[in-house]
Structure 1
Amino acid sequence: MAFQKPSHTFTKIHLKALHTNNFKILFALSFTVFINTFSFAQDIPKKGKTINRSVKDSVISTTDSLLVPEVSEKSQDSTLTDSIAPKKELLENIVTYHADDYTTFNQKKQKLYLYNNAKIDYGDMNITSGSIVIDYTKNTVYAKGITDSIEGYTQKPVFTQGSNVVEPDSIIFNTESKKALIFNSKTEQGEGTVIAQITKKENDSVYFLKNAKYTTAEDLEDPEYYIKLRKAKIVPGKKIVTGLANLFIYDVPTPIGVPFAFFPQSDKQTSGVIIPSFGEQNDRGFFLQNGGYYFAINDYVDLAVIGDYYTNGSYGVRLESTYSKRYKFRGNLGFRYENLINSERGFPDYSRNTIYNLRWSHSQDSKANPNSRFSASVNLGSSTYYRSSVNQVNTGAFLNNSLSSSVSYSKTFQGEPQVNFSVTATHSQNTNTETINMTLPTFQGSVGRMYPFATKSGSKKGIIQNINLQYNVRGENRIQTTDSLFFKKEMFDDAKAGFQHSIPLSTNFKIFKYFSLSASTNFNEVWTFKTVNKSFDPIERKEVTETINGFDSFRTYNFSTSLGTTIYGMFNFEKEGKDPKIKAIRHVIRPSISYNINPSFDKYYDSYEVVSADGLTTSDVEFSRFDGGIFGAPNKNFSSSMGISVSNNIEAKVRDKDSTATEPKKIIILNNLNFSTSYNFAGDSLQWSPVRMSGGTQLFNNKMSVNFGATLDPYALDNNNRKINKFNIDNGGSFFRLTSANLTTSWSLSSKKGDKDKDKNIDENLRSGGRADDLFGVSQDFSNQQINNKKEEKEEPPSEHYNYKIPWSLRLAYAVNYSNSRRQNEISSHSLMFSGDLELSPKWSVGASSGYDLKNAGFTYTQLRFERDLLSWRMNFSWVPFSSRSSWNFFIGIKSSILKDLKYEKRRQPDIRL
């Protein structure tokens, strides 16, 4: 792929004035008013009214006066009831206190003084401080820290009441009214912290603040940002309501502010409005993107309804839901629909298209039920979805040409023999040809292996005791359709259904001590519900195929046997008095030879005559009524073939670099090296099949994997490059003719500290059917950024010493394919792909994904990434510099989920041509 020039069409659209409908703009503005009006929806709902137990039930019958015993006047003593109310205690609860240095009570002033690590408990209230003074006349508690000439102001008060914790400079608390004045306090509210100069505690659930700061920064002494609250009200665990508030960055005020604000505070999941992003797109006008509502349905499932709106009439709707139940299952479901309009009606580049996509992932916990399992992985929709969607840059799915889905349920019935069955629905879709293949459903059942002649105890010995059989059944309802007919009536017209039953019977035993011989026969029976009948139409001069509905079946069988052994070779390099680097090399060879017989079942074949124009029969054409069936037609030609294969494995033991190791280190020289071919005894020509060679190994401590393969044909070609029944060596050539070869390598390198976990966007690649790495780039789903709130793990504290190493990682993938089946002698494909990440500093990181087509001399799809960790903020920039998907995206925002809408985002989306 070569570098591409900017499109002239893009320039034309950029300069064209869009005649957007005033109603469309009014609708967009109304949506923002709707959000501001209903923002109170994030508040915690009020609990329902409780039933007053003091209310008497009118149904209860009155007490009979005859049943109440009379009280004697003598037993009633007027002195027992005192008309004077007892004097109220000075303190309602018991006060417990402690101090390290001294505890002094001033009898005259009625004050108790506590000094150094003072602590006081009063009811549900707890105060720890350097100095505490209790005034019994005013029912007040005054707490402050201790001023030290060396350490400064230390032992600041910590005020705890219930679940609320406040850390002020000093505090005055009234034990009677429960009110308090708190100076220079710091208190956690949800994910953030409130720092206030003066706080008035009205009661257990209401605080009033003056000149307060709200921030999610970790460094509270010098926060990198905060929202200044002139006057505010806090209901702990529920909400913060404030008047005029604006954003400060490192104590520098910014014009970003609001006349009033509401911050919901809750430990539980709550519903609320999702603020949209505003912007403009060249061919769709102004837009609101990713706005909607989040529904916290319960502790197990949630739902986000978000959408886009453009002033030229385009819109999109997305539903995202995540569900989970511990030790049972977890999953996520997403549906997206977009109605895309390019330009405006009347312009030559006007177009309109509707696209959709459904994704569902479900996994069952292994502890839920060991005998049954349900799983789902669904990704289906419009073939052009990932190329046309404007609200994501899904690189992995855009470069992938297929979508696939699978929903399955399986169950096992324990016993002897074991019975298994599964029901699966599958879907595969080619986004280039728009062809869809589905099975709705596939049923598979099996009865476990049975040994009818084996003893009930002990091992199985001999040819008879090792005889075993099992039963398998497979049923399919297969559908092939296209995008335009998906889930329409025509989609089911050409559906094919059928069942296949198989009973394999096999045995194995040892011969000559070192050889293992196995023999098997297999019986198959196929049921189908559609057959065909073929005839020749002399008028149209063509073959006519008629479909016959109804049950039909055929039966086949075959026989196979194989003989194999294992040869071990050891080359020992160790000698007495010497310590060589290579200790030993072990070579394992596994040769095997097999023989297969497939009888001819020509009884299932018929024929029709082809009549020429003058009425003469020219030929007979044979056909089977099972042609085109779901499990194919029975074999017509008898085959008797022999297969030969040899596999190799080479390992070595070398001296370990670690001097403390007691055993030599084992390394792999060749993980596998396989050769295979076959000879057809029943064939009349070209009886030898090509020799296929494949192999692979691991290098550099398993960091680099190498796989290679080749096909060697023993037969020659004629002048028209067609294979003839003559060996190539007899035709003046070599013993074998190399017809194809391939080589693939992948290499992953990283520094020790740069070997980090995969980016979370890799998960989006996998969900969309892309690669499990970033060689094709990472996906960016702008809508999911609004609803995904994954907490980041805390980093390890940096070392006090300067670290001169820069963490990095690099991934390489190289592939080359050679073709010479018809003397073309060419490299059919030759490419190098690479991706990497570099951490310039603990807070700066850059990454890139690209490749180079060595055959066509051009760069492939390229993506550049930059990210900056701004402590409480996150900033990233991604850029696709060229190709038809050239685009860029800039984002800066607060990490905390409570303030995630405080962000700035700007992007240039790809030029979409529908």
Structure 2
Amino acid sequence: MQTNIPYILFCCIFILLSPSLTTAQEIDTTSGIRIEAERDTLVSVGEGIPLAQTIKLQDSIIADSIPQPQGNNLLSDRVDYKATDYIRLSQKENRMYLYNNAQVTYGDIILNAGLIVIDNNKNEVYAFGIPDSLGDYTQKPVFQQAQKTVEPDSIRFNFDTERALIYNSRTQEANFNVRGEVTKRENDSVYFMQNVRFTTSEDVDNPDYYFYARRIKFVPDKKIVSGLVNMYIADVPTPLGLPFGYFPMTEEETSGFIIPSFGDSNNRGYFLQNGGYYFAISDYVDLLAIGDYYTNGSYAMNLESNYNQRYKFRGNFSFRYEKLLESERGFPDFAEGSNYNIRWSHSQDAKSNPSSRFSASVNLGSSDYYRESVNQQNTGNFLNNTLNSSVSYSKTFEGEPQVNLSLAARHSQNTNTGIVNLTLPTLNASMTRIYPFEPKVGAKKGIIENINFQYNLRAENRISTYDSIFFTPKMFDEAIYGAQHQIPINTNFKLFNYLSVSTGASFEENWVFETYERSYDEETNDVVRDTINGFDRFSTYNFNANVGTTLYGLVNFGSDKKIQAIRHVMRPNISYNINPAFDQYYDQFEEINPADPDQINLIDYSRFDGTLYGAPGRNFSSSIGLSLSNSLEAKVRDKDSTATEPKKVTLLNNFSIGTSYNLAGDSLRLSPIALRGGIPIIENKLTVNLAAQMDIYALDNNNRKIDRLNINNGGSLFRFTNANVSFGYAFSSKDFSKDTENKDESENETYRNGGRPDDLFGKGTNLDGSFYEDDEDPFEDGEEREVNSEWYKYEIPWDLRLNYTMTYSNNARQNEITSHSLMFSGNVELSPKWSIGASSGFDIRERGFTFTQLRFARDLESWRLNFSWVPFSQRKSWNFFIGIKSSILSDIKYEKRRDRDRRL
């Protein structure tokens, strides 16, 4: 018998070796022996057992001296077993008993139970719990292998038939938690279960919902096939049922249908949205094809694809097309239109190729797409005024000197005017600085050794068009292209040990392939512009010098004071620039004065006007620039008594004053004085940004600037022309704890579409009904939080974001505030399951609320409930959603949307 014990133990482990014992088939109750979960009927444990037959763990029976049979040994690893009370061998019954906290370990497999019995006569193994002092059934069998766990009430396995019966098994497979009353193992890949509950709820014994099936077939890691399936919510049967069911159990992505949501629109009728099919093409790429349909004939199509190859690149692509019909055909208010949007984002892993990089960020389409889209998930994007795209490739050629090369295509689109600007493509090449006179050993010193120069090349093809003719041949009619070569030469040195001096010159060579000759047509009395095809060029150059230093002022108040010291840092700077006049590139033509036909006017022009880089400057300029930046810091006594050093506090952050004086000008030589700076209110959180301009020149009666000082015209020394005050402040309950969180903004769909990464303009929803950034608990770091309801009111998570701006204008004595608004958004978790949020703003100048969105979310354990509401404005609408969180059952949902009335 002792020689068979390892094989019987192996058979017990072999049946539990499968990843799950959660499913079963129709059970033949006429054959086999049923083991009741509540009570063991095989043996009366602890009764009539002689003490001499009780073997302790250290007994010599464990190290058996009987030789083992020769031949194949099925066991490939060591088998360890133990029990708290005893391990007993019964020679009369030919059985082995492990009682109380019994455990059998084989490799990475661990079997725990209150009682494990090995029957050598029947070649069967039993594992089940034991009653405690109160008669409760405890120490139920638990099987563990790696991350897999099965918790039945009892297990029975027959070695001869290689079949097993498991009673009241509880296990997890994929996202399902499964409980089966009886499980039968047919072979190592097929199981059958009877009276089965399967759910995504964590509590499989008391789930908030489950699917009940009387008979199912289970194939591990593949599928569950069942007969009649009925859905229960809170143990109450619902009308939701299927005559049969098929549930994929693989954790890999699988293809399948996407169930649409429904709603109604005031002018398009009832609709179905976001219905289609998901294609799991491979482990590296997928495809989502969904669409919308409205009963008045409007429709939309959407294709989305994500791709990712680890350590190389990742990205996503989206294309959406909408055909929009207003009202019904034949009605006087019927209108027809369409819009589209193309998005592409691609990023390369920096480790894949350090010397070259390819990236893409594309967002282009119809100018009115975000405002008119019938199925806009990005709520905050309808306020976008521009669409921008960039696709670029860069390559670095190592060496001395190093050469950097980049090729890019860019797109910028104003959604208000419909103007589209493209560069297809832009070539940039640059060479790192070369110091021809640097010493072979030691640091560079003096004006000669610091002389350096570079070479930069920029070539581009620029197109300006309208979105109405975008993607048509007409968009290339006004294309202009050319190249610019630039060689800057610079040097720097110290003057009197305190002044930093830098000076240099820049030479530019511009190449164009079209120029424009102008002449006057006497017959039409109009100026004619003729396009001259062919290569042409012009050169320019300029000189500059810069002198700067840093001054420090320190006032000490004593180490016993709260404010111990104040330090003032000033950085004055003087610059000089000179730009020669390039009259040689200008010509003249004669034009008849329309007011006096007998008078001839000479008009100056350059053939380079209208080319890629414009005409060179004709006016000689020589100007001096003056600037002064200030920083004010204080040393204060730290509130922390254990701190050994005082705390530094910034009082004024980089407050700068600057202007310029044109030496070559004949009037209005002094430019407006610009002021800019920041006042820190809360360290690293809130800084008030200030900007203003002051002018010393006066205005005439027509509010035009004249060459006369304002103070000599009866005014003050300076005349404020404009000013701006703004700040942004975001804080939350986490600011008062040590927890920090870093979010990947690239995963934010609103941000990828050109909007803000936050929810200041509202939150959009995913296809599964959840708000963006709410796939995980936003107030946790991924770990389950223990909530004490008694003290929860003192730990309510919240966040708040504020944006304020005010602009003052007085260029022409209008003396008015042109914009004045406050935007805010916030979220509060009222309880561990309830959260609310709002995004809104108030236009103080116009005295009205800006776009407002109210959000409500409820965590229903296995379910998710969301409600968003735009109570007013032309985008008035609401959306209600409730559905199962698990991605496997994401199609089990109810979603109701109410579209805004576009006829208002």
Q: Provide TM-score, normalisation by structure 2.
A: 0.87
1:798 is the counterpart of 2:787:
yes
Shift of 1:807: 2.2
Cα shift at 1:775: 1.5
Match of 1:505 in 2: 489
Tell me by how many angstroms 1:440 deviates: 0.5
Q: Indicate conservation of the 8 Å contact 1:762/1:779, yes or no.
A: no
1:640 aligns with 2:622: yes
Give unpaired runs (5+ residues) of structure 1.
1-86
Structure 2 residue matching 1:780: 3-state secondary structure: coil
Kept in 1: contact 2:262–2:897 (CA 8 A): no
Answering whether residue 860 of structure 2 is matched by residue 899 of structure 1, we say no
Secondary structure of the structure 2 residue equivalent to 1:778: coil
Q: Which residue number corresponds to residue 826 of structure 2?
A: 836
Q: Which residue of 1 aligns with 2:667?
A: 685
The residue that corresponds to 1:584 in the other structure is 565
Structure 1 position 849 matched with structure 2 position 818: no
Cα 1:380–1:145 change in 2 (3 A) is: same
Structure 2: segments with no counterpart, 5+ residues: 1-68
Is the alpha carbon distance of 1:913 and 1:768 closer, same or farther for their aligned partners in structure 2, counting shifts above 3 Å? Answer: farther
CA contact (8 A) 2:769 2:882 kept: no
Is the Cα–Cα contact under 8 Å of residues 744 and 814 in structure 1 kept in the other structure?
Answer: yes
Determine the structure 1 residue equivalent to 2:648: 666
Aligned length, in residue pairs: 825
* Further displaced range: 746-755 or 808-817: 746-755
Q: What is the CA distance between 1:286 and its match in structure 2?
A: 3.8
1:204 is paired with a residue whose SS is coil
Q: Corresponding residue for 2:191?
A: 207
1:595 equivalent to 2:567? Answer: no
**For each residue in 1:253-272, what CA deviation from the matched residue of structure 2 results, as whole angstroms up to 9, or x when unmatched?**
22222222111011322222
**Matching residue within 604, 610, 615 for 2:591:** 610
What is the match of residue 298 of structure 1? 282
Q: Give the match's secondary structure for 2:837.
A: strand
Match of 2:684 among 697, 702, 714: 702
Match of 1:808 among 798, 804, 815: 798
1:612 is displaced (CA, Å) by 4.1
Separation in 2, partners of 1:265, 1:184: 20
SS in structure 1 opposite 2:793? coil
Contact 2:874 2:900 in 1 (8 A): yes
Q: 1:142 to 1:798 in 2, by over 3 A?
A: same
| Structure 1 match to 2:529 | 545
Counterparts in 2 of 1:784 and 1:250: CA distance versus 1, 3 Å:
closer
Residue 256 in 1 paired to residue 273 in 2? no
| Equivalent-residue separation in structure 2 for 1:913 and 1:679 (angstroms) | 56
Structure 1, 811-820 or 129-138: larger mean CA deviation: 129-138
Match of 2:716 in 1: 734
* 2:435 paired with 1:451: yes
Taking the TM superposition and a 5 Å limit, the aligned residue runs for 1:358-369 are 358-369=342-353
Query: Amino acid of the residue matched to residue 705 of structure 2?
Result: K
Please state how far the C-alpha of 1:321 moved relative to its aligned partner.
1.2
Shift of 1:328: 1.5
Deviation at 1:769, TM superposition (A): 0.6
Change (3 A) 1:777 1:527: same
Letter in 1 for 2:679: T
* Native 8 Å contact 1:392 1:780 kept in 2: no
Whether 1:495 and 2:479 are equivalent positions in the alignment is yes
The secondary structure found in structure 2 opposite 1:208 is strand
CA distance in 2, matches of 1:757, 1:231: 47
Give, as a single letter, the amino acid of the residue that structure 2 aligns with 1:397. Answer: N
Report the secondary structure of 1:752's partner residue: helix
Deviations 1:374-427 (A, max 9, x none): 111110011111112112242322001110001111111122211111111100
Query: Structure 1, residues 772-801: CA drift from partner, whole Å, max 9, x if none?
Result: 222211223548969999676343223586
Range moving further from structure 2, 88-97 or 510-519: 88-97
1:797 corresponds to which letter in structure 2? E
Using the alignment, how far apart are the partners of 1:151 and 1:590 within structure 2?
A: 85
Say whether the 8 Å CA contact 2:222–2:248 is kept in structure 1.
Answer: yes
Q: Mean alpha-carbon deviation: is it higher for 810-819 or for 88-97?
A: 88-97
Check conservation: 2:262, 2:896, Cα contact below 8 A: no
Mapping for residues 382-401 of structure 1, pairs under 5 Å: 382-401=366-385
Query: 2:539 aligned to 555, 573, 583, which one?
Result: 555
Code of the aligned partner of 1:185 = S
Residue 21 of structure 1 is matched in structure 2 by: none
2 CA distance for matches of 1:89 and 1:105? 25
The partner residue of 1:518 within 479, 502, 525 is: 502
Q: Tell me which residue corresponds to 1:74.
A: none
Contact 1:98 1:119 in 2 (8 A): yes
1:884 aligns with 2:884: no
Q: Distance in 2 between matches of 1:607 and 1:315?
A: 59
For the aligned residue pairs, the C-alpha RMSD in angstroms reads 2.7
Alignment of 1:472-483 (within 5 A): 472-483=456-467
In structure 2, the CA distance between the partners of 1:127 and 1:722, relative to structure 1 (3 Å rule), is closer
Q: Give the Å deviation of 1:91.
A: 11
Shift of 1:662: 0.8
Deviation at 1:163, TM superposition (A): 8.8
The answer to whether structure 1 residue 135 and structure 2 residue 119 are counterparts is yes
Correspondence list, 1:177-216, <5 A: 177-216=161-200
**1:415: which partner in 2?**
399
Instruction: Indicate how the Cα distance of structure 1 residues 151 and 616 shifts in structure 2: closer, same or farther if over 3 A, else same.
Output: farther
Contact 1:166 1:186 in 2 (8 A): yes
| Identity level (%) | 59
The AA in structure 2 aligned to 1:818 is Y
Q: How does 1:63-212 map to 2 (within 5 A)?
A: 98-120=82-104, 127-150=111-134, 152-159=136-143, 165-212=149-196
Give the residue type in structure 1 aligned to 2:582.
F
Alpha carbons of 1:783 and 1:904: their partners in 2 closer, same or farther (altered >3 Å)?
A: closer
Which amino acid in the other structure matches residue 132 of structure 1? I
Deviations 1:436-479 (A, max 9, x none): 00100111111110111111221111111111111111011000
Task: Name the counterpart of 2:389.
Answer: 405
Distance 2:148 2:581 in 1: 85
Aligned to 2:24: none
Name the CA shift for 1:477/1:194 in 2 (closer, same or farther; >3 Å): same
How far apart, CA to CA, are the structure 2 residues paired with 1:326 and 1:797? 35
Give the counterpart of 1:767 among 752, 770, 787: 752
Residue number among 753, 765, 783 corresponding to 1:780 in the alignment: 765
Q: What SS does structure 1 have at the residue aligned with 2:748?
A: helix
Kindly indicate whether the alpha-carbon contact (under 8 Å) linking 2:764 and 2:772 is maintained by their aligned counterparts in 1. no
Letter matched to residue 802 of structure 1: W
> Are residue 272 (structure 1) and residue 272 (structure 2) matched?
no
Matched, 1:534 2:524: no
Match of 2:267 among 276, 279, 283: 283
Aligned residue number for residue 59 of structure 1: none
Cα distance in 1 between the residues matched to 2:328 and 2:664 = 69
Residue 158 of structure 1 and its aligned partner are, at CA, apart by 2.5
CA contact (8 A) 1:363 1:376 kept: yes
Task: Tell me the SS of whatever aligns to 2:152.
Answer: coil
**Does the residue aligned with 1:319 lie in a helix, a strand or coil?**
strand
2:856 is the alignment partner of 1:866: yes
Is the 1:295–1:304 contact (alpha carbons within 8 Å) kept by the matching residues of 2?
Answer: yes
1:762 and 1:778 in contact (8 A); partners too: no
**Per-residue deviation at 1:250?**
2.0
Question: In 2, Cα distance between the equivalents of 1:286 and 1:823?
Answer: 55
Aligned CA distance change for structure 1 residues 198 and 679 (closer, same or farther; 3 Å): same
Structure 1 residues 370 and 162: alpha-carbon distance in aligned structure 2, compared to 1, 3 A threshold: closer
Distance apart, 1:857 and its partner CA: 0.7
Measure the CA separation in 1 of the matches of 2:575 and 2:264: 68
1:10 alignment counterpart:
none
Residue type matched to 2:127 in 1? A
Identify the residue that residue 309 of structure 2 maps to in structure 1.
325
Instruction: Give 1:897 shift.
Output: 0.8
